[in-house]
């Protein structure tokens, strides 16, 4: 059974850093495009970052230079390092296998 479980969200001050984790079971992350999608309060969906099976990374303009996606094949886990956080980064962050499987999300709240 495919499962994606996010963790690492929380309340953080503007300018702070957080690292989100996505633990995967049921398939290997190195064989798929994996990404993070966020959903602000009452808002729509926004792709934040994607990592290909080959390790190529992609970022939305809104997070380029601040967020870094990576993975640990030995742990079958995908990460999102988020630095220089802004109030507008407040959202529910979903991990997804592009694009057919999704986790339940982890909430990030950036407070000023």
Partner 1 sequence: DVVMTQSPLSLPVTLGQPASISCRSSRSLVHSDGNTYLNWFQQRPGQSPRRLLYRVSNRDSGVPDRFSGSGSGTDFTLKISTVEAEDVGVYYCMQGIDFWTFGQGTRVEI
Please give the residue ranges that form the binding site for partner 1 (CB under 8 A).
35, 37, 44-47, 50, 58, 60-61, 94, 98-100, 102-105
| Structure letter (DSSP) for residue 17 | -
Q: Which is nearer to partner 1, 16 or 105 (CB)?
A: 105
Q: Residue 45 and residue 33: Cα distance in Å, rounded?
A: 18
Q: Least CB distance from residue 58 to partner 1, whole Å?
A: 6
How far from 4 is each of 13, 78, 84, 103, CA to CA, in Å?
27, 10, 26, 5
Q: Least CB distance from residue 77 to partner 1, whole Å?
A: 18
Q: Which is nearer to partner 1, 12 or 98 (CB)?
A: 98
Q: Which is nearer to partner 1, 15 or 88 (CB)?
A: 88
Q: Least CB distance from residue 86 to partner 1, whole Å?
A: 20
Q: Which is nearer to partner 1, 16 or 58 (CB)?
A: 58
Q: Least CB distance from residue 74 to partner 1, whole Å?
A: 27
């Amino acid at each position: 059974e495919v499962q994606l479980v996010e963790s690492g969200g929380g309340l953080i001050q503007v300018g702070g850093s957080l690292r989100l984790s996505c633990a995967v079971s049921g398939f290997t992350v190195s064989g798929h495009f994996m990404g993070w999608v966020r959903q602000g309060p009452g808002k729509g969906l926004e792709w934040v970052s994607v990592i290909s099976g080959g390790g190529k990374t992609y970022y939305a303009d809104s997070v380029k230079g601040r967020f870094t996606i990576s993975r640990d094949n030995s742990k079958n886990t995908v990460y999102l390092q988020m630095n220089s956080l802004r109030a507008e980064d407040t959202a529910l962050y979903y991990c997804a296998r592009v694009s057919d499987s999704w986790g339940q999300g982890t909430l990030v709240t950036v407070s000023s």
